[in-house]
Structure 1
Amino acid sequence: MIKKSQFSFWYRNGLTLFFLALFAITLVGQALTGWKENNKEIEEKGGKALAFGSYLHSGHFISATFENFQSEFLQMGMYVLLTVGLRQIGSAESKSLTEEEDVDREPKPGPDAPVLVNKGGWWLKIYSNSLSLCFLLLFLVSWVLHFYGSWVDHNNQQLLQHKPAETLTGFLSQPTFWFETFQNWQSEFISIVSIVFLSIYLRQKGSPESKPVDAPHMETGK
């Protein structure tokens, strides 16, 4: 077993930290540019520009942020769950068509096993599906926040145009929210198709998402 003291904190967590940094940078960029874009639209319609702090609580920012979050969590949750049973011959992202894999073995209690494995029973059942359940919960929370933000932003636009506000149920039947939703979902699904299919024929030396460079095209799994 690898001891934490063998490597620095930055080396042990480099992948997570790198993408967290990119997330923070791009979120700030989205907030600043979204704030300016929203204020431009508000002023063009005769409204009063929002302060940056107020914008961060606005429907425009909430909708734009969680519109992307919910599609990503949906993608990852479905990917984790569907790769349990579905296969793609030759893909590095698929389990073997014929052989049992390490991830399918029954969990066994032990001194190095996670606490919930040693508890057994329902705790073990929940923990055995915790990754997909977590993504499902994150998706549902993000979907609700996207819907709420989109509804608030829509009603703000209605107010600027001197039109009546929509109720939650009324807005749910409008195409605006579903257009935002479907355009994100389809992009996530095609990205899954891309990594699953392209990993059959293409390689990236050193990446765990790729097969070895000299592996046959129809070799399934890593």
Structure 2
Amino acid sequence: MSAPERYGFVRANALSLAFGGLFLATLLGQAVSGTADVNAGRVSDGLPTVSFLDYVTSSSFGVDVMENWQSEYLQFFLYVFATVWFVQRGSSESKEPGQEGTESDREQQVGRYAGADSPAWARPGGWRTAVFSRSLGLLMGALFLLTWAASSIAGWAAYNSEQLASRQDPVSWIGYLGEADFWNRSFQNWQSEMLAVGSMAIFAVYLRQRGSPESKPVGAAHADTGQTG
């Protein structure tokens, strides 16, 4: 009997459903509070307020959302690939020192070592298995590039709105990519993700969260690597 049949769909998918719900709730919260914030500024300047729909379809809201998304996908893209080749002794998120690399076909259960319930593309070898073997990192990288491109377009529109409001000439999209505003926005988001990932990697060596697979068992030695609680 499969997990959804044994536990019910909601219980078997509670993690993704919970975070999906939290994502929608916080996105709505951002939209509502953002509308209120913009309108507070417009009222103080003696300008008419904007509607909720006008705000959520504006470049200002778009660039804020896309900047957050692209930095998160960058975090996962780098972490997925970095943990193939780099280790952190004592971290539950790391392989043991000496196990760096893509590992053998036997260890990865691909080709002739695939099991009866292995994904279809794990068996045939060749380009299909090669692509599937890297599909998570490739998807995270593609999503990062797409959201970064969307962020640049929304940021460009917001930048030109400010340029026109201050009676300055707008710039082309290519021109905006060379502006300090674009790179300041990008690096501002990226550095926070690097800090978060690095902090998690080292804090998980010495601290515990009972019952979490992101943590080692409470009684595990600090030097134990790759264990989950």
Residue by residue over 1:96-126, the C-alpha shift from the partner in whole angstroms, topping out at 9 and shown as x without a partner, is 1145999752413443111222343211110
Paired residues of 1:45 and 1:161 also in contact (CA < 8 A): no
- Paired-residue identity, %: 38
In structure 2, the partner of 1:149 is 154
Give the partner amino acid of 1:95.
K
How far apart, in 2, do the equivalents of 1:21 and 1:103 lie?
37
Paired residues of 2:92 and 2:214 also in contact (CA < 8 A): yes
How far apart, in 2, do the equivalents of 1:80 and 1:210 lie?
18
* Paired residue secondary structure (2:170): coil
Q: Residues 124 and 113 of structure 1: is their aligned pair in 2 closer, same or farther, counting only changes over 3 Å?
A: same
Offset at 1:192? 0.7
Paired residues of 2:92 and 2:225 also in contact (CA < 8 A): yes
In structure 2, the partner of 1:65 is 65
1:2-13 matches, within 5 Å, as 2-13=2-13
Gaps of 5+ in 1: none
* Paired residue secondary structure (1:82): helix
TM-score, normalised to structure 2, is 0.88
1:7-156 matches, within 5 Å, as 7-41=7-41, 49-98=49-98, 105-106=107-108, 107=110, 108-156=113-161
Asked if residue 213 in structure 1 is aligned to residue 215 in structure 2, the reply is no
Gaps of 5+ in 2: none
Residue by residue over 1:187-208, the C-alpha shift from the partner in whole angstroms, topping out at 9 and shown as x without a partner, is 1001111111011111111110
Picking from 167, 177, 199, the partner of 2:172 is: 167
Residue by residue over 1:159-206, the C-alpha shift from the partner in whole angstroms, topping out at 9 and shown as x without a partner, is 222222121122222211111111111110011111110111111111
TM-score, normalised to structure 1, is 0.91
In structure 2, the partner of 1:193 is 198
Over the aligned positions, Cα root-mean-square deviation in angstroms equals 2.2
Q: Residues 90 and 192 of structure 1: is their aligned pair in 2 closer, same or farther, counting only changes over 3 Å?
A: same
Tell me whether 52-61 or 19-28 shows the greater mean CA deviation.
Answer: 52-61
Aligned residues: 222
Q: Residues 101 and 10 of structure 1: is their aligned pair in 2 closer, same or farther, counting only changes over 3 Å?
A: farther
